[in-house]
Amino acid sequence: MARAAREAARQADGPAEDTEPGALRVGVLAYPGCFASEVFGVPDLLTMAAHVAGPDAPGYRVTIVSPRRRVTASGGTHLDVRPLREVDVLVVPGFELLPDTDLDARLARLRAETEAIRAHAAAGTAVVSLCVGAFLLGEAGLLDGRRATTSWLHAAALAGRCPDADVRSEHLVVTDTGVTTTAAFSAMYDFALDLIRRHSGDRVARATARVALVDDARTSQTPYVDPRLLPRPGGAFSQRVMRHLDQNLADRYDLVALAHAFQVSTRTLLRRFADETGHSPLAHLQASRVRRARHLLETTDRTVAAVALAVGYQDPGTFATLFARHTGHRPSAYRTAFRRTRRAVVTDGDEPDPRG
């Protein structure tokens, strides 16, 4: 990655720590309020990878950089930062983004950082954002005309703010012509493992994942989406229709009967619902059925056929196809990955004492 930039840097004067042959130079851009764990998460995994690879393998030189002299990250963590420098990969961590956050004001205060991001990209540096760090890349103009992702919780906001970007909310990591964006928080490890795989090889990446207990087989953030945390679209009419559908989840979908219940024609029902929500009543019903099925698969021992019946599907195959389209997993695979079980710490084979 960015081999030409790395070769040029090795020929330039610089600190001794940057002259290790073959070392990939990674800069983490720290800024006020950034998540401290995202500043250190990627470097820590790269450190593990270097130990796994051994002393003779090309390693990683990671520096926390900033256009500021002092940076206080989330939780009041004071960071030791160095001036901006030439690197092969620039990593931009995320920050706390709450519903009442004034994003315009927040990004305006980070103008020095967005200018640094833009300058590094113009110089050919590979730029990576973690989670909502994508908003800084968007502010720097790096997402225009590119595919991108971010936390599923904020994907709609990113798409609205960057209309020229192709936001793929289901993806964990998206790389498009030198710019990489990642999904929520822990997806920084998915990116780091991919970086390790490219720089140190598959064997080192797999071994590092196992040492760190990091999942190296994830392909999508879709199974983690909780629609209850997303803003519910629609006006008063569609809200009433959605409530009716949710309360009759297992009933057969009957558009004529639904329209009759709300005293409108089927055409009017579809038009008003689409105008307010952007999709059809059937699409909402299917999403609600999948959400209920996920809960049943996570918390009960019901068979897949029984779960399918509970959410309105006589044919388990039809249900499984729909479920996979929404979550990226077949029902049985989803249960294996997300089943909620009690985990007890057992010492020397003894059962835990329930009295503590």
What's the CATH number where 309 sits? Answer: 1.10.10.60
Residue 356 within a domain: no
Helix (H) or strand (E) holding 24: strand 24-29
Q: Are residues 157 and 56 in the same domain?
A: yes
The CATH number that applies at residue 69 is 3.40.50.880
Which of 224, 243, 267 represents a domain boundary (last residue)? Answer: 224
Q: Are residues 77 and 216 in the same domain?
A: yes
Q: Are residues 296 and 153 in the same domain?
A: no
Q: Are residues 130 and 192 in the same domain?
A: yes
pLDDT of residue 1: 47
Express the helix, strand and coil content of the chain in percent, nearest 5 each: 50, 10, 40
Which of 195, 224, 253 represents a domain boundary (last residue)? Answer: 224
Q: Are residues 218 and 302 in the same domain?
A: no
DSSP string, 49-108: HHHHH-TTS--EEEEEE-SSS-EE-GGG-EE--B-----SEEEE--B---TT--HHHHHH
Q: Are residues 220 and 280 in the same domain?
A: no
Tokens 């055409």 sit on residue: 267
Q: Are residues 203 and 254 in the same domain?
A: no
Whose CA is closest to 94, among 176, 139, 151?
151
23, 61 Cβ separation under 8 angstroms = yes
Q: Are residues 208 and 313 in the same domain?
A: no
pLDDT of residue 254: 94
Q: Are residues 197 and 138 in the same domain?
A: yes
42, 63 Cβ separation under 8 angstroms = no
- What is the domain count for the chain? 2
Q: Are residues 206 and 293 in the same domain?
A: no
Residue 326 within a domain: yes
CA distance 47 to 13: 25
Q: Are residues 13 and 67 in the same domain?
A: yes
pLDDT of residue 340: 67
Residue 276 within a domain: yes
DSSP string, 287-301: HHHHHHHHHHHHH--
Residue 89: φ, ψ to 5°: -135, 130
CA distance 200 to 158: 33
pLDDT of residue 19: 54
pLDDT in tens, the chain (356 residues): 444 334 333 333 344 444 577 899 999 999 999 999 999 999 999 999 999 999 999 999 999 999 999 999 999 999 999 999 999 999 999 999 998 899 999 999 999 999 999 999 999 999 999 999 999 999 999 999 999 999 989 998 999 999 999 999 889 999 999 999 999 899 999 999 999 999 999 999 999 999 999 988 787 777 777 766 666 666 889 889 998 999 999 999 999 999 999 999 999 999 999 888 888 999 889 988 998 998 899 889 999 999 999 999 999 999 999 998 888 889 999 898 888 654 444 444 444 443 44
Residue 344 within a domain: no
Angle at alpha carbon of residue 33, lines to 5 and 43, rounded to 5°: 40
Q: Are residues 48 and 120 in the same domain?
A: yes
CA distance 137 to 127: 8
Whose CA is closest to 153, among 188, 184, 189, 198?
184
Residue 117 within a domain: yes
pLDDT of residue 162: 95
Q: Where in the sequence is the domain holding 251, given as residue range(s)?
A: 232-338
Residue 151 within a domain: yes
- H-helix segments, 186-235: 187-200, 202-212
Which of 224, 252, 283 represents a domain boundary (last residue)? Answer: 224
Residue 345 within a domain: no
Residue 284 within a domain: yes
DSSP string, 106-150: HHHTTHHHHHHHHHHHHTT-EEEE-GGGHHHHHHTT-STTSEE--
Whose CA is closest to 183, among 138, 217, 148?
148
